[in-house]
C-alpha cells in the first residue's frame, strides 16, 4: 500500500510531488486500491474554480457504509468498532463490535424507512454522544438519506434555522443528555423548536436519561419500540459519487449559518486517507478523538475516518472535568488509548489544574497526540508535549475546516519533524498558497498572507445547501481561481505553515466558530439596544472570547446596566446558545465608522485587546473622537 501509507520524509516529498504534478493519477490510485465500489468512475476530477463546480470520481457507484462496515465483517467482525464511555464512570462502558454495529445500523435503517425516509431526504439529528448518534448517521448513509447533525448544545432557535434551511422530514433526538453532574432536557428544546419547523413530519426519540418527556401523538415515536421490532436485514442503497452524504452547518461572517454539503465518494476517500496517515493508524490501535460528533471533527475523525480503516474508535459522552479533572487521563489509561486527538481549549483548561492529575496516570499506551480547531499557543503545546505525550509522542497540529472535509495541513507522525505552534506541511494533494490583499500570490519563504488553496481535493464541500451563489462568493471570489480559507498564515524559512487566525469576522471561542453578525443581530433585538459591534479578544482558556460594544437607544435609560448585561446575554443564549455569550459588554455612545457607514472593527479589536499603541489609519473615520471615549471606558 505504498500509495496509501507515507513511510518516511523522502517518501512524503516523493508522494507530495507526484500528487501535485498529476493529482488525477494520484487520487485515482488511492481510490482504486483502498475501497470497494459497485462501479468505477469515468473521470477522476472535473472542476471550474470560477463557478465553484467540482466533481470527483464521476459516475462511480458506492455506499460509504459498505466501506465502513460490510467489508470488515469477514476479517474483523468481532473486533470492537466503538468503545462507548458513558458520562458517569460508574456506568459500564460498551464495546460494540463491527458485527454488532452492522446489525444495529441495519435495524435503524429499517426504522428510518418505516418513518417514511427515502434516498435524498434530509434527517436532522440532535443527540448527545451516545452510540445511537453514530448508528443513526450510518443508517442514514446506508439508506441514502442526508444527515444533518445539530450539536446538542444549540438552542431551540438555532435548531429551527438549521432544520428549516435543509427542509428536514425527520428529526432524531433523545429524552435528555448527561453532561457532568447535569441532566439536560433535550426533548423540550426540540418541542419548542418544532413549533416553527413545518417540514418535520416525525421525530424519533431515543431513551437515555429517562426523564419525563411529552410525546406528541402521531408525531413522536420512541426509537426503542420500533428498533426492537425492526428486521436486521437491509439492502444497501447504491449511491452516486456526487450524491449528498451530509450537511453540516458552520458559522459565516454574515447572516445565517452555512449548510456545507459533503458528497459520497470524495469525502470517503479523503477522510480515510487522512485518518490513516495523520494518526499513524495501525490495526490494533485504540483511537480517541474528544470532539463532539456534532462538529466536522467528529464526523471525519470519530466516525467515518476510523471506521473506514477498520479502527476502534472511542466515543465519550461526558466532560473532561467530571467527576474529577483527570477524566481524560483516566480514560486513556483505562482503554489503553494509542492516539489522542483534542482541542487547544481543552488542553489549556486542563493545564490550569495541578499537574498531579495528569502525572499520576499511566499514559504509556499513547503513540500520537493531536490538536485541532484553533491555533495552539506555545505554552499549551509544551504542556501537551511534556505531560500528555511525555516527550515521546509526536504532536499533530492539524489545520482544516468544516468546508475541507478532512485534515489539510499537518505533520505526519514519525515522518515530519514537528515545530511548536506550526501545522507544518500540506498533505499530499493539497496546494496552499499565500495571497496579499491585492490578490497577488506571495512567493518565497518567511512571509505571511491570506491562506488559499490552489487545486480541489476530494474532501472539499461541494456547495452551501440551497445557495450555490453564496458558496461561490464566500470561497471562490476573493481570490479568483482559488479556494479562500478565511484564515491568515505564515510560511517560515523551511516552508512550514503556521495558522495565525481568522481574517474575517468569525471568532473561535473554545474551538467553536462564531460569526459576529448573527450575535449582533440577536443583541439588536433587545428593545433598549440601538446598535452593537462584537469582536474577539485573547482569553487564557477559551483562546478567544467575545467583547461587545453596545449603543443604547436612550443613554439616560433608567434600566440598570448590570440588568441589561444579563438580559443581553440571556437573549444570545436563547437565540444561539450559551457558547455565544459575551465575556464583556461595554456601553458606548457611538461606534467608529467610516464615511460609508462601515464599522471599523480593526480599532475595536485593538481596544478590546488593550493594545492602544497603533490604531493605523483613522483618517477615513467619520467620528474619530469616539475612539478616545471608548478607549477610556474600556472594561
Contact between 427 and 408 under an 8 Å Cβ cutoff? The reply is: yes
Nearer to ligand WTA, 244 or 536 (CB): 536
Taking each helix axis from N to C end, the angle separating 98-114 and 131-143, rounded to the nearest 10 degrees, works out to: 60
Say whether residue 402 binds ligand WTA (CB under 6 A): yes
Whose cell is 456506568? That residue is 91
Task: State in angstroms the smallest separation of the CB of 560 from ligand WTA.
Answer: 37
Q: Map residue 495 onto helix, strand or coil.
A: coil
Query: Which residue, chain included where needed, has cell 505526519?
Result: 412
Q: Are 502 and 251 in contact (CB under 8 A)?
A: no
Quote the least distance from Cβ 17 to ligand WTA, whole Å: 24
Q: Does 252 bind ligand WTA (CB under 6 A)?
A: no
Q: Which residues pair with 313 in a beta bridge?
A: 82, 287
What are the DSSP calls for 432-451, one per residue?
EEEE-TTS-EE-SSSEEEEE
Calpha distance 156→165 (Å, rounded): 14
Q: Cβ distance 245 to 262 under 8 Å?
A: yes
Among 85, 191, 317, 374, which residue sits at the site for ligand WTA (rule: CB under 6 A)? 374
> Of 622, 617, 615, nearest to 592 (Cα)?
622
Q: Are strands 432-435 and 447-453 parallel, antiparallel or unpaired?
A: antiparallel
Minimum CB–partner distance for residue 173 and ligand WTA (Å): 23
Any idea which residue has 464521476 for its cell?
58
Among 375, 389, 458, 592, contact with ligand WTA (rule: CB under 6 A): 375
The least CB distance from residue 451 to ligand WTA, in Å, is: 9
The answer to the question of residue 294 lying near ligand WTA (CB under 6 A) is: no
Q: How far is the CB of 22 from ligand WTA (least distance, A)?
A: 28
**Binding to ligand WTA by residue 258, rule CB under 6 A?**
no
Q: Phi first, then psi: what are they for 226, rounded to 5°?
A: -70, -35
Using rule CB under 6 A, residue 397 touches ligand WTA: yes
Q: Smaller CB distance to ligand WTA: residue 509 or 585?
A: 509
By CB under 6 A, name the one of 153, 373, 413, 428 that touches ligand WTA.
Answer: 373
- Interaction between residue 293 and ligand WTA (CB under 6 A): no
Unique residue bearing C-alpha cell 497603533 = 614
> Which of 281, 399, 457, 475 is the binder for ligand WTA (CB under 6 A)?
399
Interface characters, 475-514, with ligand WTA (x: CB under 6 A): ----------xxx-----------x--x-----x----x-
Which lies closer to ligand WTA via its Cβ, residue 122 or residue 258?
Answer: 258
Among the listed ranges 72-80, 147-155, 276-284, 395-403, the one in contact with ligand WTA (CB under 6 A) is 395-403
C-alpha cell at 337: 488509548
State the Cα torsion 472-474-476-480 to the nearest 10°.
120
User: In this complex, which beta carbon is closest to ligand WTA, that of residue 23 or of residue 370?
Assistant: 370
- Residues 6 or more apart whose Cβ sits within 8 Å of residue 155: 189, 573, 574, 575, 576, 577
Q: Burial of 393 by CB count in 10 Å (0-12 exposed, 13-18 middle, 19+ buried)?
A: buried
Residue 400 sits in the site that holds ligand WTA (CB under 6 A): yes
Report which DSSP code applies to 422: -
Binding part of the chain for ligand WTA, among 70-78, 98-106, 165-173, 289-297 by CB under 6 A, reads: 289-297
- Which value, to the nearest 10 degrees, does the dihedral of the CA atoms of residues 290, 291, 292, 294 take? -160
In the set 141, 168, 213, 296, which binds ligand WTA (CB under 6 A)?
Answer: 296
- x/- string (CB under 6 A) for ligand WTA, residues 511-550? --x-------------------------------------
**Residue 453 to residue 36: CA distance in whole angstroms:** 29
The nearer residue to ligand WTA, 23 or 486, going by C-beta atoms, is 486
Say whether residue 471 binds ligand WTA (CB under 6 A). no
Determine which residue in the list 27, 295, 328, 329 makes contact with ligand WTA, applying CB under 6 A.
Answer: 295
Interacting residues of 360 by C-beta distance below 8 A, sequence separation 6+: 326, 329
- Each residue 417-436 as x (binds ligand WTA by CB under 6 A) or -, in order, gives ------x-------------
Nearest-10 Cα torsion for 243, 246, 249, 250: -80
Choose between 429 and 486: whose C-beta lies nearer to ligand WTA: 486
Beta carbon nearer to ligand WTA, 241 or 293: 293
The smaller minimum CB distance to ligand WTA, of residues 26 and 270, is found at 270
What is d(CA 472, CA 477) in angstroms, rounded to the nearest whole number?
6
Which residues lie across from 395 on neighbouring strands? Answer: 369
Give the count of residues interacting with ligand WTA (CB under 6 A): 22
Of 49, 60, 372, 630, the residue at the interface with ligand WTA (CB under 6 A) is: 372
Q: At its nearest, how many Å lie between ligand WTA and the CB of residue 136?
A: 22
Q: What is the per-residue DSSP string for 214-237? A: ---TTTEEEHHHHHHHS-S--PPP
Check residue 132 for interaction with ligand WTA (CB under 6 A).
no
Q: Which residue has the cell 468481532?
A: 78
Binding site for ligand WTA (CB under 6 A): 250, 295-297, 372-375, 397-402, 423, 485-487, 499, 502, 508, 513
Amino acid at each position: 500500500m505504498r500509495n496509501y501509507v507515507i513511510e518516511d520524509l523522502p517518501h512524503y516529498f516523493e508522494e507530495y510531488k507526484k500528487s501535485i504534478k498529476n493529482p488525477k493519477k494520484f487520487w485515482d490510485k488511492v481510490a482504486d486500491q483502498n475501497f470497494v465500489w459497485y462501479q468505477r468512475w469515468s473521470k477522476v476530477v472535473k472542476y471550474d474554480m470560477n463557478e465553484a463546480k467540482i466533481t470527483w470520481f464521476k459516475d462511480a457507484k458506492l455506499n460509504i457504509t459498505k466501506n465502513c462496515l460490510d467489508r470488515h465483517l469477514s476479517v474483523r467482525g468481532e473486533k470492537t468498532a466503538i468503545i462507548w464511555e458513558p458520562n458517569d464512570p460508574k456506568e459500564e462502558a460498551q464495546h460494540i463490535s463491527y458485527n454488532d454495529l452492522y446489525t444495529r445500523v441495519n435495524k435503524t435503517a429499517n426504522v428510518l424507512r418505516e418513518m417514511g425516509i427515502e434516498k435524498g431526504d434530509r434527517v436532522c439529528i440532535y443527540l448527545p454522544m451516545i452510540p445511537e448518534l453514530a448508528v443513526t448517521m450510518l443508517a442514514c448513509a446506508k439508506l441514502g438519506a442526508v444527515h444533518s447533525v445539530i450539536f446538542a448544545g444549540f438552542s431551540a432557535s438555532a435548531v429551527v434555522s438549521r432544520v428549516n434551511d435543509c427542509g428536514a422530514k425527520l428529526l432524531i433526538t433523545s429524552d435528555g443528555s448527561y453532561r457532568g453532574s447535569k441532566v439536560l432536557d433535550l426533548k423540550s428544546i426540540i418541542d419548542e423548536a418544532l413549533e416553527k419547523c413545518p417540514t418535520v413530519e416525525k421525530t424519533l426519540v431515543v431513551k437515555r436519561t429517562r426523564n419525563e418527556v411529552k410525546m406528541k401523538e402521531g408525531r413522536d415515536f420512541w426509537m426503542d419500540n420500533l428498533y426492537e421490532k425492526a428486521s436486521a436485514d437491509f439492502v444497501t442503497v447504491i449511491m452516486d459519487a456526487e450524491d449528498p452524504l451530509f450537511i453540516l452547518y458552520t458559522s459565516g461572517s454574515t447572516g445565517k449559518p452555512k449548510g456545507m454539503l459533503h458528497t459520497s465518494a470524495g469525502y470517503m476517500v479523503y477522510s480515510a486517507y487522512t485518518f490513516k496517515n495523520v494518526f499513524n493508524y495501525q490495526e490494533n490501535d485504540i483511537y480517541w478523538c474528544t470532539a463532539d460528533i456534532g462538529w466536522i471533527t467528529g464526523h471525519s475523525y470519530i466516525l467515518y475516518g476510523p471506521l473506514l480503516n477498520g479502527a476502534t474508535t472511542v466515543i465519550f459522552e461526558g466532560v473532561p472535568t467530571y467527576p474529577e479533572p483527570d477524566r481524560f487521563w483516566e480514560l486513556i489509561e483505562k482503554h489503553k488509548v494509542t492516539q489522542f486527538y483534542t482541542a487547544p481549549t481543552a488542553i489549556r483548561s486542563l493545564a490550569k489544574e495541578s499537574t498531579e492529575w495528569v502525572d499520576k496516570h499511566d499514559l504509556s499506551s499513547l503513540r500520537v497526540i493531536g490538536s485541532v480547531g484553533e491555533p495552539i499557543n506555545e505554552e499549551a503545546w509544551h504542556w501537551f508535549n511534556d505531560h500528555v505525550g511525555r516527550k515521546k509522542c509526536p504532536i499533530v497540529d492539524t489545520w482544516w475546516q468544516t468546508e475541507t472535509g478532512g485534515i489539510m495541513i499537518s505533520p505526519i507522525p514519525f515522518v515530519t519533524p514537528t515545530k511548536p505552534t506550526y501545522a507544518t506541511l500540506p498533505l499530499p494533494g493539497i496546494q496552499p498558497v499565500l495571497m496579499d490583499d491585492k490578490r497577488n500570490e506571495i512567493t518565497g519563504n518567511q512571509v505571511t498572507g491570506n491562506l488559499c488553496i490552489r487545486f480541489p481535493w476530494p474532501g472539499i464541500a461541494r456547495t452551501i445547501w440551497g445557495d450555490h451563489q453564496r458558496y461561490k462568493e464566500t470561497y471562490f471570489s476573493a481570490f479568483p481561481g482559488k479556494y479562500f480559507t478565511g484564515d491568515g498564515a505564515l510560511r517560515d524559512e523551511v516552508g512550514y505553515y503556521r495558522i495565525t487566525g481568522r481574517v474575517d469576522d468569525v471568532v473561535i471561542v473554545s474551538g467553536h466558530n462564531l460569526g459576529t453578525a448573527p450575535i449582533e443581530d440577536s443583541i439588536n433585538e433587545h428593545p433598549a439596544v440601538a446598535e452593537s459591534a462584537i469582536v474577539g479578544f485573547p482569553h487564557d482558556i477559551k483562546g478567544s472570547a467575545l467583547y461587545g460594544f453596545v449603543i443604547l437607544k436612550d443613554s439616560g435609560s433608567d434600566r440598570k446596566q448590570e440588568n441589561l448585561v444579563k438580559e443581553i446575554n440571556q437573549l444570545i443564549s436563547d437565540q444561539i446558545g450559551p457558547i455565544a455569550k459575551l465575556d464583556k459588554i461595554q456601553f458606548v455612545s457611538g461606534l467608529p465608522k467610516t464615511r460609508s457607514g462601515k464599522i471599523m472593527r480593526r480599532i475595536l479589536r485593538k481596544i478590546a485587546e488593550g493594545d492602544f499603541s497603533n490604531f493605523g489609519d483613522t483618517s477615513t473615520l467619520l467620528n474619530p473622537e469616539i475612539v478616545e471615549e471608548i478607549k477610556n471606558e474600556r472594561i
